[in-house]
Structure 1
Amino acid sequence: MMRRVEVMPYDSIWQHLYLEEKKRLEAIFKNQLMAIHHIGSTAVPGLAAKPVIDIMIVVEDIEQMDKLNNQLIAIGYETKGGNGITGRRYFQKGGDMRSHHLHVYAEGDMNIKRHLAFRDYLRAFSGEAERYGHLKSELAKLYPSDITSYINGKDIFVQVMEMKAVDWYDRHYPLS
């Protein structure tokens, strides 16, 4: 089955789905867990998004993660390695009808700040979130069955937005 690109208006259920999954993940990660965050578009109230809950977990030692793979598989996750990002462990839940993405990083990884800055920037600047949501909606209409073209279509916008977001984040949260 081909994965359909579907961008939906914001739904407050996404926060509840995150909180439910957070409980399951906390039970698995236990003392490995340093922080857990709802990231991505579903974490930004008002932002149109693909209905996939992105969760970022921060652990002390990324190598210890591999011992938890079977427990994650038991609750429906598929192991995807780093999926192109060094130092990350990545998991997907829901098969072709994805429901969750799980990103795991070791404490201090630069990608942690990038994800949090992007999320918090879009939460703080609703006009930027609206522009991003509009772009995603238009791309989903253009490429309803081509996830690669959808992602490529967002790429430059996201890179520029991330640079602005990290700069803003550094000024507002200088100790992060």
Structure 2
Amino acid sequence: MTETRRVIEVVPYNPEWETEFERIKKMIWGYIGDYIVTIEHVGSTSVEGLSAKPIIDLDVVMESYDVFPEIVQRLGEHGYEHEGNFGCEGREAFRRTFPDGCMKYHLYVCPKDGKGFLEHIAFRDYLRANASARMEYGNLKKQLAETYRLDIDSYVRNKTEFVTRILKKTLYRAPGV
């Protein structure tokens, strides 16, 4: 049996990604807005000027896990399947099970003080504010996409050192530094 592999494609920044995020955000807000605090555009498509895989990443932020069962149920009623946290503490992934007319996106539900959400925001905000880091990361992503064209695990794994370095400068900075 032949396995179909997704080709990793990193493309130049597209300003339409922000418009698409707003469209998806409005849709998700309509499903669960009464259970959440906010919806944040995270990931590379949220950083103006950064090359990215053309996939929108959204963090749906809840006050606490107290409302999570209701969110799972409500999203389920609208065609989303909870996939678990994939080993990332404080970040629950959902998969849409229907075509909704939107570009591809990853939907995560996170508590406002969760590690996954805090890391996403710290990394995004650092790249938005630092042109040299943004350029370095974009070049790294393009190089990795060429090297690991059919291997998403290696692509992601080889970005880890860069991401960790940025998080140590921001979220995990030693006191007094």
Alignment TM class, shorter chain as reference: 0.7 to 0.9
Query: Over residues 104-142 of structure 1, what are the superposed CA-to-partner deviations in whole Å (9 max), with x where a residue is unaligned?
Result: 112322332221111111000011001000000000001
Equivalent in the alignment of 1:154: 159
Q: Does 1:85 align with 2:88?
A: yes
Match of 1:24 among 19, 24, 27: 27
Q: Hey, which bits of structure 1, 4+ residues long, moved more than 6 A? A: none
Query: More displaced, 157-166 or 13-22?
Result: 157-166
TM-superposed deviation, 1:92: 3.3
The one of 124, 127, 132 aligned to 2:129: 124
| Contact 1:59–1:107 (CA under 8 A) maintained in structure 2 | yes
CA separation of 1:112 and 1:130: change in aligned 2, threshold 3 A: same
Deviations 1:71-120 (A, max 9, x none): 4346554421111123331123489xx81111211232233222111111
Question: For residue 34 of structure 1, what is the amino acid of its counterpart?
Answer: V
Aligned-partner SS, 1:80: strand
Which SS does the other structure have where 1:166 is aligned? coil
| Mapped partners of 1:126, 1:93: distance in 2 | 34
Structure-1 residue corresponding to 2:67: 64
Which residue pairs with 2:18 in the alignment?
15
**What is the alpha-carbon root mean square deviation over aligned residues?**
2.4
Q: Is the 8 A contact 1:78 1:92 kept in 2?
A: yes
Q: Is the 8 A contact 2:35 2:71 kept in 1?
A: no
From 6, 9, 33, the counterpart of 1:6:
9
The Cα offsets for residues 155-174 of structure 1, whole Å up to 9 and x where unpaired, read as 11111122123268x99xxx
* Aligned mates of 1:111, 1:89 — CA distance in 2: 9
Distance in 2 (alpha carbons) for counterparts of 1:152 and 1:61: 29
Rounded Cα–Cα distance in structure 2 between residues aligned with 1:51 and 1:147:
14
TM-score by length of 2: 0.84
The residue number in structure 2 matching 1:112 is 117
C-alpha separation in 2, matches of 1:14 and 1:74: 27
**Normalised TM-score (structure 1):** 0.84
Structure number with the higher helix fraction is 1
What residue number does 1:42 align with?
45
Structure 1: unaligned runs, 5 residues or longer: 172-176
Q: State percent identity of aligned pairs.
A: 35
Q: Is the 8 A contact 1:93 1:99 kept in 2?
A: no
Number of residue pairs the alignment of both structures matches: 168
Give the match for residue 106 of structure 2: 101
